Amino acid sequence: MYLLKTPCIVGGLFSNLKYKVEFFRENILINDNVMECCRIYKVEKLVSCLSTCIFPDKTTYPIDETMVHNGPPHTSNEGYAYAKRMIDVLNRCYKVPDEYGCNFTSVIPTNIYGKGDNFSIDNGHVLPGLIHKCYKAKQAGEDLHVWGTGSPLRQFIYNVDLGALMIWTMRNYHEVDPIILSVGEEDEVSIADAAKMIASAMNFEGNVVFDTDKVA
């Protein structure tokens, strides 16, 4: 039996800032329960999903998988990020041959978007959140307000493409070290460009305003 673990308590920037303890505790419990059940029932392979927010806030680029534990994550994500980091720690502990020798690993997808997305402004991720904000601004005849300067760069992956990569990982990746599932560095998009592309696609005629006094 193979198992792909995706369940977690997750949200957008607003939720990560507001519910740090809840995100940490709930995700630690989920991780522990799933992993221990996989051990007890002798699951042949477990692949868990991490998140790009686990990487250190102060780091060098390009980022790679060896840098996960090189410093604290951004304070806005610390509850969720530390819980996700613990998956990598537990994978290595369960792998020790003299104790359990479990075949557990993890993937680090970049920002995901696509079919069945969560469009909540409070709990959704970057692209669906911007789409919903743009829709509401258009309906109200108001400007589209985006937190921050718009300068941070992000990579995005379509969820159907990610699904294909997850299947490849399940079949072909055999290391305990996490593996990044992402597009190339050259395909990074700024938040500003993403917001403007969404506004154009939705025929939004208002202004795109960047609230630089708010965290991005």
Kindly report the CATH number that applies to the domain delimited by 2-211: 3.40.50.720
pLDDT band with cut points at 50, 70 and 90 for residue 202? very high
Query: Mind listing the pLDDT tens digit for each residue in 83-126?
Result: 999 999 999 999 999 899 999 999 999 999 999 999 988 878 89
Query: Mind listing the pLDDT tens digit for each residue in 138-182?
Result: 999 999 999 999 998 899 999 999 999 999 999 999 999 999 998
Domain boundaries, the chain: 2-211
Strand blocks (E) in 24-169: 45-49, 104-109, 111-113, 144-147, 153-154, 156-158
What pLDDT score was predicted for residue 14?
73
Backbone angles phi, psi at 149, to 5 degrees: -85, -20
Query: Mind listing the pLDDT tens digit for each residue in 5-47?
Result: 677 787 777 788 889 999 999 999 999 999 999 999 999 999 9
Q: Which residues contact 92 (CB under 8 A, 6 or more apart)?
A: 176
Question: 47 near 170, Cβ under 8 Å?
Answer: yes
What pLDDT score was predicted for residue 215?
61
Listed residue (5, 42, 56, 46) closest to 27, CA to CA? 5
pLDDT value at 216 more than 60: no
Catalytic site positions: 80
Whole-model pTM?
Answer: 0.85
Buried b (16+ CB within 10 A) or exposed e, 72-103: ebeebbbbbbbbbbbbbebbeebbeeeeeebb
Question: 93 near 36, Cβ under 8 Å?
Answer: no
Tokens representing 120 are 């909540």
- Rounded-to-integer distance, Cα 22 and Cα 121, Å: 19
Angle, helices 191-201/126-140, rounded to nearest 10 degrees: 50
Phi-psi region of 42 (alpha: psi -120 to 50; beta: other; left: phi over 0): left
